[in-house]
Chain A
Amino acid sequence: MGGPNHQPLSVAELKEMARQIRRDIIKMLMISRSGHSGGPLGLADIFACLYFNVLKYDPQNVTWPDRDYFFLSAGHLAPVWYAALARAGFFPLDELATLRAINTRLHGHPAPWYTHGVPGVEIASGSLGQGMSVAVGCALGLRLDKKPNHVFVLHGDGELDEGQVWEGIMSAAHYKLDTLTAIVDRNFCQIDNRTEKVMELEPLADKWAAFGWNVINCDGNSVEEFLHAIGKASNFRGKPSVIIAKTFMGKGVSFMEDDYRWHGVPPSTEQGKQALSELAPTKFGDFFEFEWEKEAIAPA
């Protein structure tokens, strides 16, 4: 798929892009010293797939009528989205260094391009639980115009505590919106604790199925599995599909993995250096070099 001027990346390249996105997230958070680490790192594989294989878009024309619509309902996951959007060409890479800073377009939670946010963001999110309803409205409107565009919405698993999500889930099934695919970032972590301790979600797949959805489970940290799941969702007719993507919060950084305490904090400089040493540089190159990186590679 990809946009009108894009070739989808190969599986090997998607894995490398995911690693680059993880490096981008670490560097953005080291610069901003504020923001969410765990969730975004866990989603790097999914965002690499979405923006370099799955979604149709044109970064030069964000209102391209044939684009797919992507909504990030869990707005605090913004760092991984911003990194993917910049890598996909929606805005200059070096703008990633402005995350959460004054006068930035990369707000702590995303704002749309037509207000004061970045290109590629269709609507504000941050207050949880609203994206499903928006996606339903979008899909209904597209269907009214007999347009085939696909609509994607990504939810955190903790976000499913919000009642509005289930209102939207009912609406999507009621209207049999098979152009709608929901992705749940099932990392079992939320701010206070493991999801099942804060508010039991299981049996999660059964709940979605009981609400009338086609349920697809996959390993969300596996590019191959996620692309396979997207294929199944896209071809399913008569019901909306949900991909419950099992991920690890903090994936790729040993000391953050599967630890809910990394939900909303950035790494310190030392922790950031450690994280970057675990995520090998890629052919895509970093958006920013710290002074200590320049010193490390300077000739003796």
Chain B
Amino acid sequence: MQSSVTIIESKGEKATRQGFADALMELANENPNVVVLGGDVSPSVKVDGFAKAYPDRFFSVGVAEADMMGVAAGLALVGKIPFASTYGEFATGRPFDQIRQSLAYSQLPVKICASHCGITVGPDGATHQSLEDIALMRVLPHMTVISPCDYLETKRAVRRSVSITNGPVYIRFFRDNTPMFTDETVPFEIGKANTLIDGNDVTVIAAGLQVWEAIKAAEVLHAEGISTRVINMHTIKPLDKDVIVTAAKETGAIVTAEDHQIHCGLGSAVAECLVQILPTPQEFVAVKDTFGESGKGDELMRKYGIAREDIVRAAKKVLKRKQR
């Protein structure tokens, strides 16, 4: 018997990085302590508007990401609210030790805003496809890790990040225009996942661009009679364990989906949670321990197995392992 399914529609397309830019302009207007650090990629990460409007509060550090994190730490020490922004790989992998010591261990409220994350950055190729950033950031004590799924959610995440004052926040954006589908009337709270579609047979827990892919996959699965729950796990740390355990209890099968390496990302976080509380069959939709290559974003999503069809396949696979 088919149950009714929530239909979620796209209200046009905009890039998540634009959500960052728009939130930043609002925050800058509201709070004179908001400052931005640029690493010579200002138009790409969309901080050029801020730099033009607030030249005194924009600090170019050149192509020097280690310095960027240290300068951000110093600004935070004297009460500023620094947003350090560059591409995902250069915001995490390159200055990892600076983030670890000067931001996380020192518990300073710096916002690390990373654009061009994931394999979908596309033509730039593997060097620029940050597929390890969630892993690197979530391993750090005192770090908050957010991977918003669309323009509006990014805007809200960036605005809300200012409320975290006892440690750094990592927020992940994507380059391309992507569907806008979250709803302003649904509360956004850091650390509190949103269930977008209810379902009883299997749960897809997704973050970032894979939330939209999960919605589309759920429609396919629903048409085939598989009732699929879709959870938008926008905050990967701290993880909303309650919503995960409830989903595991009620559906008994989990698929995780992310634009990230299979190791140590969202899927691992979910598995770490469930294996300690309620071991549950799980399939991982993620990049399978390999580096990317050039290509278009959607082509790469399919080639590297993180598109909606892969979520459908993973759901069917995990259902075979489900304890009935």
Q: Which residues of A are in contact with B by a Cβ distance under 8 Å? A: 69, 111-112, 114-115, 122-127, 129-142, 144-145, 163-164, 167-168, 170-171, 174-175
Contact = CB atoms under 8 A, between A and B. Distances in A.
Given A123-B108, A133-B98, A170 B62 contact: yes
Given A69-B78, A133-B66, A133-B73, 5 more contacts: A123-B102, A123-B106, A137-B78, A137-B82, A141-B77
A171 B72 CA distance: 12
Contact of A140 (B62, B71, B97): B71
Contacts of A142: 78
B61 interface: yes
Contacts of A125: 101
Contacts of B97: 127, 130
Nearest to B67: A167
B156 to A, nearest CB: 27
A135 B74 CA distance: 6
A168 B65 CA distance: 11
B85 to A, nearest CB: 15
Closest 7 CB pairs of A and B: A137-B74, A133-B70, A167-B67, A141-B78, A138-B74, A137-B71, A167-B64
B80 A144 contact: yes
Contacts of A122: 77
Interface string B172-192: 000000000000000000000
Given A115-B105, A127-B101, A144-B57, A134 B73 contact: yes
Contacts of B70: 130-134, 136-137, 164, 168
A35 to B, nearest CB: 19
A124 B105 contact: yes
Given A114-B107, A123-B102, A133-B98, A167 B78 contact: no
Contacts of B102: 123-124, 130, 133-134
B106 A115 contact: yes
B245 interface: no
Contact of B106 (A69, A112, A135): A112
A122 B73 CA distance: 10
Contacts of A138: 74-75, 77-78
A171 B101 contact: no
Nearest to B95: A164
Q: How would you classify the secondary structure of chain A's contact residues: helix, strand, loop or mixed?
A: helix
Given A115-B105, A133-B67, A145 B74 contact: no
B143 to A, nearest CB: 14
Nearest to B62: A170
Contact of B59 (A115, A140, A170): A140
Contacts of A136: 67, 70-71, 74
Nearest to A162: B66
A125 B101 CA distance: 7
Q: Which one of B72, B82, B108 has the highest number of Cβ atoms from chain A below 10 Å of its Cβ?
A: B108
B75 A141 contact: yes
B56 interface: yes
B236 interface: no
Contacts of A164: 64, 66-67, 70, 98
11 contacts: A115-B105, A123-B74, A130-B73, A133-B102, A134-B77, A134-B102, A137-B72, A141-B35, A167-B64, A171-B61, A171-B71
Contacts of B64: 164, 167, 170-171
A124 B69 CA distance: 13
B66 to A, nearest CB: 4
Contact of B73 (A137, A144, A167, A170): A137
Interface in B234-262: none
B79 interface: yes
A122 B70 CA distance: 13
A125 B103 CA distance: 11
A123 B73 contact: yes
A133 B64 CA distance: 10
A57 to B, nearest CB: 15
Given A115-B105, A134-B71, A136-B71, A145 B78 contact: yes
B7 to A, nearest CB: 48
Interface in B80-136: 80, 82, 97-98, 100-102, 105-108
Contacts of A134: 70-71, 73-74, 77, 102
B71 A124 contact: no
Contacts of A131: 70
A159 to B, nearest CB: 13
Contacts of A133: 66-71, 73-74, 98, 102
A69 to B, nearest CB: 8
Interface in B130-174: none
